């Protein structure tokens, strides 16, 4: 009996040590789609960079943590979070009521909208011109939700093609395999300008939205620490500096 108790106690000690080691690992693991410029993407040196990355790195530094950027499949992002593989989803995550119920979300930090990108040949000038056309969208994204939220527009389309990421979709659009692509305004503008692509954004938007950071419901304390740090960064001008670096001006909505 004493041997059994000793074994059980030993197991409990090991589990306790493992838990303590995990808690004291000093890492802040950020889950992202690493092809989502300018928020999170790989540069010419294959390093993950971007607006969200700069914000997160400064937050982690102030909290005494090491930032670890973990690329994930965006369509399974909530599973990655809830199984503990990542500490947060911080990569242009649109705040929706459903996501707020499922995860512990931060306050908004950036405004955005879902838009349609088309070739600049002048053939398509409005959403109505996409009737009977083929449109692309990233699977599991808020762009897909925006299409579902516009039933008349969705019904008018000939076909909706799903992609794992927007880079491939933009290339397909540029070379005529798609007639339009629904995506985030922030990402679309940056991708067209930086890539010098012959594409334009339609004036009509499908849905206005805001970006936030998502944490597990079990980790609200980390959410609160990150939120507090972001507010401090906004107050001391750090957020404005990072925003200007990536967008040319301060477009953040933190504390506003």
Helix (H, G, I), strand (E, B) or coil at 235: helix
Kindly report, residue by residue over 124-159, the tens digit of the pLDDT.
Answer: 999 999 999 999 999 999 999 999 999 999 999 999
Tell me: do 136 and 105 sit in the same domain: no
Q: Mean of the per-residue pLDDT values for the chain?
A: 91
Residue 5 pLDDT: 39
pTM to 2 decimal places? 0.81
Q: Cα–Cα distances in Å, from 79 out to 43, 212, 216?
A: 27, 18, 10
CA 181 to chain centre: 18
CATH number at residue 202: 3.40.190.10
Cα end-to-end span (Å), the chain: 63
Q: Is residue 172 part of a domain?
A: yes
Between the CA of residue 236 and those of 27, 99, 123, 230, 247, what are the distances in Å? 25, 30, 47, 10, 19
Kindly report, residue by residue over 174-224, the tens digit of the pLDDT.
Answer: 999 999 999 999 999 999 988 889 999 999 999 999 999 999 999 999 999
Residue 16 lies in a domain: no
What's the mean pLDDT in 114-122?
Answer: 96
Pairing verdict, β 199-215 and 180-184: unpaired
Q: 57 and 177 share a domain?
A: no
What percentage of the chain carries pLDDT values higher than 90?
86
| Residue 34 belongs to domain spanning | 25-111+210-247
């Amino acid at each position: 009996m004493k041997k059994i108790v000793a074994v059980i106690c030993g197991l409990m000690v090991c589990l306790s040590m493992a838990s303590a080691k995990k808690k004291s690992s000093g890492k802040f693991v950020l889950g992202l789609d690493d092809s989502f410029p300018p928020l999170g993407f790989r540069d010419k040196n294959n390093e993950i960079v971007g607006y969200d990355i700069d914000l997160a790195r400064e937050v982690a530094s102030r909290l005494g943590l090491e930032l670890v950027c973990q690329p994930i499949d965006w369509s399974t992002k909530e599973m990655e979070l809830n199984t503990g593989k990542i500490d947060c989803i911080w990569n242009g995550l649109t705040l929706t009521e459903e996501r707020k119920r499922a995860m512990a979300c931060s306050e908004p930090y950036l405004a955005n909208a879902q838009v349609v990108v088309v070739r600049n040949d002048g053939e398509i000038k409005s959403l109505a011109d996409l009737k009977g056309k083929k449109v692309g969208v990233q699977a599991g994204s808020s762009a897909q939700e925006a299409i579902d939220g516009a039933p008349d527009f969705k019904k008018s389309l000939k076909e909706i093609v799903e992609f794992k990421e927007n880079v491939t979709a933009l290339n397909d659009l540029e070379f005529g395999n798609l007639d339009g692509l629904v995506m985030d305004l922030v990402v679309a503008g940056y991708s067209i300008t930086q890539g010098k692509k012959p594409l334009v954004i339609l004036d009509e938007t499908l849905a206005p939205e805001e970006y936030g950071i998502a944490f597990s419901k079990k980790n609200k304390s980390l959410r609160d620490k990150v939120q507090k740090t972001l507010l401090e960064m906004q107050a001391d001008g750090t957020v404005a500096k990072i925003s200007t670096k990536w967008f040319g001006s301060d477009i953040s909505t933190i504390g506003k």
